[in-house]
Amino acid sequence: MITFENVGMRYGMGTEVLRDISFSLDRGSFHFLTGPSGAGKTTLLKLLYLAHRPSRGLVNFFGRDLATLERGALPRLRRRIGVVFQDFRLFDHLTAFENVALPLRIQGAKKAQVADHVEELLSWVGLEDRMHARPATLSGGEKQRVAIARAVINKPDLLVADEPTGNVDPDMSRRLMHLFVELNKIGTTTVVATHDEDLVRMIGAPIMRLDKGELNMIAGGTPLDPEAAA
């Protein structure tokens, strides 16, 4: 579904942040992206959620070659990708409901069509009582659940999460990972960047390990938490 071949990435005239990255993500797969700080995780995630074009190499998204894709065609492709950030990046002046509804509104959905869908999803992440709260009044875990709901409201083919548990307590981390696993089970290809080795062991999914700009693929292990990984 997504293929990277010999991809390199540099910013301006600097040295390459990513070198000869090759991998493919099959539909419905789940991967962790790990590596020390400065290894290039954020850059690889930006390539995955189409914030940058690579400096070299071939990238194929959903059967489309990124090199030949016009800029005008990118928004439709981005709508097939959900992104969750460590710092949530919610719109502070909008309610949880409105934040989650944004991707549907971008697609041109009407208010009446949006309401049921958003309410259902906020209930799924356990925020049915906080729909009309603004981010400033939500806890870290609640904000991240709103961000996850926003990322998946469009039923994306690919879900990319950048340190989604970085700003929440261990119990909430476990609950959030459970959400990602649930989404993956319904067919969403998922890539979660994390430093948290315990979470990686808990799920036991394959690992994309970046070190000094180079990628190693590590097969998944036995999940320590069968309930979370089930």
Q: DSSP secondary-structure letter at 160? A: E
Smallest gap from residue 49 Cβ to another protein (A):
6
What does the per-residue mask of binding to another protein show for 56-95, with x meaning CB under 8 A?
---------------xx-xxxxxx---x-----x-xxxx-
Smallest gap from residue 105 Cβ to another protein (A):
5
What does the per-residue mask of binding to another protein show for 143-162, with x meaning CB under 8 A?
-------x---x--------
User: How many residues of this chain interact with another protein, rule: CB under 8 A?
Assistant: 29
Report 109-128 residues binding another protein (CB under 8 A).
111
Taking the alpha carbons at both ends of the chain, their separation in whole angstroms is 23
> Quick one: which of 50, 138, 183, 193 contacts another protein (CB under 8 A)?
50
CB 178 within 8 A of CB 228: yes
Q: What is the DSSP string of 25-81?
A: E-TT-EEEEE--TTSSHHHHHHHHTTSS--SEEEEEETTEEGGG--GGGHHHHHTTE
Residue placing its CB nearer to another protein in the complex, 145 or 175: 145
Smallest gap from residue 212 Cβ to another protein (A):
25
**Where in the chain does DSSP place strands (E)?**
2-10, 16-25, 30-34, 56-61, 64-65, 81-84, 158-162, 189-193, 207-211, 214-218
Q: DSSP secondary-structure letter at 93? A: T
* Residue 105 near another protein by CB under 8 A: yes
Smallest gap from residue 18 Cβ to another protein (A):
16
SS3 state at 230: coil
Give the residues lining the site for another protein (CB under 8 A): 49-53, 71-72, 74-79, 83, 89, 91-94, 98, 101-103, 105-107, 111, 150, 154
